[in-house]
Amino acid sequence: RELVDDPALALAPGQIRNSNGPFLAAGLRAAGAEVVYQETVGDSAADFIAALAHALDLGAELLISTGAVSMGRHDFVPTALERIGAEPRFHKVAIRPGKPLLYARLAAGQQFFGLPGNPVSTAVGLRFFVEPALRARLGMVPETPLALPLAAPLRKRPGLQHFLKAVVGLDAQGRLQAQVLAGQESFRILPLVAANAWATVPAASGDLGAAERVSVYALSHGAGWTAKETVDAG
């Protein structure tokens, strides 16, 4: 109810822009998918089920929602999936951001990803869960990340795998390094705009020192870093 799709409309109290819908649609096309249907769905299981049915009628083989997958009063997606006979494979993963992520198979075998509603949680779900599924569908091999040194120390508690907005650039000796950006909270969009990479840190890791290596991925599986981007970032 709070989402406003038209960016030209002024926001009333309690309303927010629909950023996740356009972001997912653009990202999926860039990742090699054909987007056959997109809708902002009302806050009810019935509306959600109707939207799923319409997408399936249009031939969708992989379905994605954003929002309503946690455990709050309005988080109806798990219940709705149960009603239509979907088989949940997992719900909640040990990651940050994006912990409430849900994955299920629908009755006819279609894949379903329920991504959390915070914008960066949605971005992580697309990049590290949906895109690998697309790669498998496209017959592509799994990605191999770069192993790059951190430009600065990183504070982290063990327990969750972290996906961090980062900039890959050059150090003083002209070597690649990863700079983790400030503002890693899942509602902060501006650092995602500034990033040219994702740095990932395993769940078991604690604090890391400068020059320790982390796994680094491009912003999407179909993109790499150009020489200009790398030089500018350095």
**Per-residue confidence (pLDDT) for residue 231, from 0 to 100:** 40
**What is the predicted pLDDT for the residue at 233?**
41
Report how far residue 125's alpha carbon sits from residue 120's, in angstroms, rounded to the nearest whole number: 8
Check pLDDT > 50 for residue 126. Answer: yes
Q: CB of 181 within 8 A of CB of 165?
A: yes
Alpha-carbon distance 108 to 97, whole Å? 30
45-66: pLDDT as tens digits: 999 999 999 999 999 999 999 9
Model confidence pLDDT, tens digit, residues 178-205: 999 999 998 888 999 999 999 999 999 9
Instruction: Check residues 158 and 234 and name the one with the higher pLDDT.
Output: 158
Q: In whole angstroms, give the CA distance from residue 74 to residue 43.
A: 7
Whole-angstrom distance, CA of residue 215 vs CA of residue 148 = 7
pLDDT by residue (tens digit) across 106-122? 999 999 999 999 999 99
How many percent of the chain have pLDDT more than 90? 86
Amino acid in position 123: A
Task: Work out whether strand 102-105 and strand 176-180 pair parallel, antiparallel, or are unpaired.
Answer: unpaired
Average pLDDT of the chain? 92
Task: Give the percent of the chain with pLDDT over 70.
Answer: 94
Q: What angle do CA 22, 75, 199 make, to 5 degrees?
A: 55
Helix (H, G, I), strand (E, B) or coil at 174: coil
What value does the mean pLDDT take over residues 202-231?
Answer: 80
Question: DSSP letters along 86-143, please?
Answer: -EEEEE--SEES-TT-EEEE-TTS-EEEEE-SSHHHHHHHIIIIIHHHHHHHTTPPPP
Give residue-wise pLDDT tens across range 62-103: 999 999 998 677 789 999 999 999 999 999 999 999 999 999
How crowded is residue 60: how many other Cβ atoms within 10 Å of its Cβ?
20
